Amino acid sequence: MIDSHCHLTSISKEKSEIIKIIDRAKENNINYIVDIGVHPSDLEKRFDILGSMENVYMTAGFYPDYAYSYEEQELSAFKDKIISINNDKKNIYMIGEIGLDYYHNNEDTYKQQHLFEMLISIANELSLPISVHTREAWNDTISILSKNKVDKRGIIHCFSGGLEEAKKVLDLGYIISFSGVITYPKNTMLRDVAKYVPDDMFCLETDAPYLTPQKVRGKKNEPSFIKYIADTVANEKSVNVEKILEMSYHNALRVLDGSIV
Ligand SMILES: [Zn+2]
């Protein structure tokens, strides 16, 4: 089964520690991990530590916070870097996380929108899906995704909207990814989305080291904690946990394989 979004090198900088984290994930039946990038400069370090690890899928990201400080030429360098990594058979499976974050910064939001659109066009040029980060920016996110079709679609990571937003992104063909946030008592709205979302349109993620599920709050989050998120979704869907984990795995793989239509 899979953790469709986490940041292994943010959980620990030590390779030996990361190996232990992956082992604990395996003991909990999580055999695949998608390691998410946040900036072009993190690729080298991540490949250094994780490149040789089996069943770790790598992405290349450009977090919206950087929209205020990047130079235009960094974008072509980013694209070239991904092309060269993929030519080397080291495989980047997705562009992300990318998106809009008006919680961190809601000034000159056109800068974030521009970067997001540029990155979407890179994803299309490279024929890759995207991992979307969106926080307090639903209207602009949905309008950008509507105007800028991504051939390979993607995943709305750490989905935090309600039914209305869920319907809109599902209509656009995006998979909704539930994180530990769905386990927090006050988030009834998210649990309603879990009840609603079709079985083939959701996946599960920890976003570790962030967003530790309720039952283990206080601990540093890690991929083995997917089970707590699966539990909550299983409850809402009245399906057993194993089945939920399986659905998440198939849905995430469908995106990573680029076979989503
Ligand atoms: Zn993340």
pTM: 0.95
Distance 133 CA to ligand 1 centre (A): 8
Does pLDDT of 239 surpass 60? yes
CATH code, 229:
3.20.20.140
Q: Which of 152, 158, 127 is nearest to 63 (CA)?
A: 158
Please give the average per-residue pLDDT across 9-23, as a whole number. Answer: 95
Distance 207 CA to ligand 1 centre (A): 5
Residue 213 lies in a domain: yes
| Residue 54: per-residue pLDDT | 85
Residue 98 lies in a domain: yes
For the beta carbon of residue 201, count every other beta carbon within 10 angstroms.
Answer: 18
pLDDT per residue as tens digits for the range 118-176: 999 999 999 999 999 999 999 999 999 999 999 999 999 999 999 999 999 999 999 99
Residue 232 lies in a domain: yes
Domain of residue 144, residue span:
2-256
- Token pair in block for residue 218: 């206080």
Distance 123 CA to ligand 1 centre (A): 18
Residue 112 lies in a domain: yes
In the chain, how many domains are there? Answer: 1
pLDDT per residue as tens digits for the range 31-52: 999 999 999 999 999 999 999 8
| Residue 258: per-residue pLDDT | 75
